[in-house]
Amino acid sequence: MNYLEFEKPLAEIEGKAEELRALAKTGGTVGVDLTKEAEALDRKAETALRDLYKNLTPWQKCQVARHQDRPHCKDYIEALFAEYTSLAGDRAFADDHAVMGGLARFQDQPVLVIGHEKGNDTKTRIERNFGMARPEGYRKAIRLMDLADRFRLPVITLVDTPGAYPGKGAEERGQAEAIARSTEKCLAIGVPLISIVIGEGGSGGAVAFATANRVAMLEHSVYSVISPEGCASILWKDADKMREAAEALRLTAQDLQKLGVIDRIIKEPVGGAQRAPKEMIDAVGKAIEAMLAELSGKSPAALVKDRRQKFLDMGARGLAA
């Protein structure tokens, strides 16, 4: 288990329990039941874990959302979608490995799935550019959404990105224009569009996939116009004020549901998705099933109208909140 900064007290308890179990296997200490001692520590750790995750601060939720052991886009696709066939390239420049996308079946229903993939070790993180898409990634997404619209396939997007890649080459190839056109395409397609923020939803790079009929967030994921560190650097010229920035940004799933930015919160296992990946993936599958059912039977015109109105109403709801 990779522990976060605020989980250090828990790490000590769980570490001690593991030490006792290892000692018990070697014969233990005379007159002491080490297994029972370890079980007592397990119960203490479980209570500590529940208490820690009961009232996470926005900054702590950012840390959880970025946890390296959380299920990534690739994990969800492999577990929830059958017959996944990857479709590569934007037909103009290159294939962006930060964006996965292709045809698949969800519970035997043909769909098109698109998502940001961060990678899970040094090699894959570099290959995937840490989930930060370049213009060709967004243009690939546009191509795939066009394909889904043509063949009347629901689109499911899995959002997990710190933001679009801000490098010189990306800007030269029209990063802002690509993000804007991807957002425009989300608004225009006449098929159900469902988006789930599974980790970080950073800036326009996330909005370009999440301008959907239904937007859901995992309980401890975050979704914001800028990262807390970036916000702190701009407002206070001090990235160390990221905790204050996280509070001000209102980037948690709970805040965003109140503001009407998202429609649904998917509960995470105690301790976050990283502690029970299979349980988390199953919960996301159930949420996708429910949201597809809500949109089933709606005409293309109704889907487009509802989606557009949803985003037009956000400003009014935000002011009211």
The CATH number assigned to the domain holding 153 equals 3.90.226.10
Structural domain of 289 = 62-320
Selection from 84, 73, 80, 166 nearest residue 120 by Cα: 73
Shared domain check, 79 and 12: no
Residues 30 and 71 grouped into a single domain: no
Same domain (yes/no): 160, 263: yes
Per-residue pLDDT in tens (0 to 9) along the chain, 321 residues? 788 989 888 888 888 888 888 887 776 554 467 778 888 888 888 988 999 999 899 999 999 999 999 999 999 999 999 999 999 999 999 999 999 999 999 999 999 999 999 999 999 999 999 999 999 999 999 999 999 999 999 999 999 999 999 999 999 999 999 999 999 999 999 999 999 999 999 889 999 999 999 999 999 999 999 999 989 999 998 888 999 999 999 999 999 999 889 999 999 999 999 999 999 999 999 999 999 999 999 999 999 999 999 988 886 665 555
266/181 same-domain check: yes
204 and 311, same structural domain?
Answer: yes
Do 36 and 172 lie in one domain? The reply is no
Adjacent-strand bridge partners of 159: 197
- 191 and 289 in a single domain? The answer is yes
Asked if 298 and 306 touch (Cβ cutoff 8 Å), the reply is yes
> Do residues 207 and 261 share a domain?
yes
158 within 8 A of 115, measured Cβ to Cβ: yes
The single-letter code of the amino acid at 234 is: I
Task: Tell how strand 214-218 and strand 155-161 pair up.
Answer: unpaired
Domain limit, last residue, from 16, 40, 55: 55
The number of folded domains in the chain is 2
pLDDT, residue 174, reads 94
Q: What is the pLDDT of residue 45?
A: 85
pLDDT at position 29, please?
A: 57
Helices and strands (H, E) in the chain, number of each type: 14, 8
What per-residue confidence (pLDDT) applies to 318? 53
Nearest to 149 by CA among 121, 199, 187, 177: 187
Question: Same domain for 126 and 274?
Answer: yes
Give percent of the chain with pLDDT exceeding 70: 96
Q: Tell me: do 148 and 267 sit in the same domain.
A: yes
CB contact set of 93 (below 8 Å; sequence gap of 6+) = 135, 136, 139, 173
